[in-house]
């Protein structure tokens, strides 16, 4: 099994795909063959936008992805922009489709970035939450969190969920231009608790090191 990194987040629209692209570029710069999969994408009408972004990046970085199709990167899609449980009308998760896609991609990469949907407790079907897929695929998790007010609560809750499940993980703060108050409003707490505040913009090399060695 190749190195699997599962990119999750404290909520939707936090920056999973943006962070996944940064990981791909950093690992590729180290001479590793990179791959990515958007396990489940909802809100897909004509094409899967997150998966399209990942595939464009992969075709730049790994020549063996030139023949890979969008359906290989996004094996399960639904039109409704909602949790997979709702978007699929509570259809059972097709693990065979995910496993087949992963097997195909891992033949041409050293590191596979697996991007989830929403946060850890997004329901996939009656049996699986998103956090369960991290364990099922034996992946190392990267928790992407935001830098706006409320990030302390959101980050700690998600980290507790990962710890309670005994999952290997690292946390990355995806700070945006409008998050200039983070340094004064939230970061002091994390620093006081002796937590490394790794930011996707500045510390992607360190984040990649931590993930690869977990």
Known catalytic residues? 38
CA–CA gap between residue 129 and residue 181 (Å, rounded): 33
Q: What's 21-45 look like in SS3? A: HHHHHHHHHCCCCEEEEECEEECCC
Contact 3, 110 (CB under 8 A): yes
* Beta-carbon-side half-sphere exposure of residue 55 (alpha carbons within 13 Å): 18
**Cβ-Cβ contacts under 8 Å for 211 (sequence gap 6 or more):** 5, 23, 140, 142, 170
Question: What is the distance between the alpha carbons of residues 43 and 129, in angstroms, rounded to a whole number?
Answer: 18
Q: How many angstroms from the chain centroid is the CA of residue 106?
A: 17
3-class state of residue 96 by DSSP: helix
Nearest to 174 by CA among 4, 10, 5, 3: 10
């Amino acid at each position: 099994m190749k190195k699997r990194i599962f990119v999750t987040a404290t909520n939707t629209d936090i920056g999973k795909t943006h962070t996944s692209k940064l990981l791909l570029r950093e690992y590729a710069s180290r001479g590793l063959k990179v791959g990515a999969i958007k396990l489940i994408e909802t809100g897909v009408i004509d094409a899967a936008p997150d998966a399209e972004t990942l595939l464009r990046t992969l075709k730049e970085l790994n020549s063996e992805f030139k023949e890979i199709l969008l359906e290989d990167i996004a094996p399960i899609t639904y039109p409704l922009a909602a949790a997979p449980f709702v978007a699929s009308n509570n259809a059972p998760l097709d693990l065979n489709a995910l496993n087949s896609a992963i097997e195909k991609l891992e033949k041409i990469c050293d590191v596979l970035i697996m991007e989830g949907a929403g946060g850890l407790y997004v329901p996939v079907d009656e049996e699986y939450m998103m956090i369960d897929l991290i364990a099922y695929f034996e992946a190392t998790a990267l928790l992407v969190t935001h830098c706006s007010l409320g990030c302390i609560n959101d980050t700690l809750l998600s980290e507790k969920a990962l710890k309670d499940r005994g999952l290997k993980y690292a946390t990355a703060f995806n700070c945006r231009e409008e998050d200039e108050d983070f340094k004064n409003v939230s970061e002091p707490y994390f620093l006081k608790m002796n937590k490394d505040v790794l930011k996707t913009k500045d510390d992607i090399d360190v984040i990649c090191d931590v993930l690869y060695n977990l």
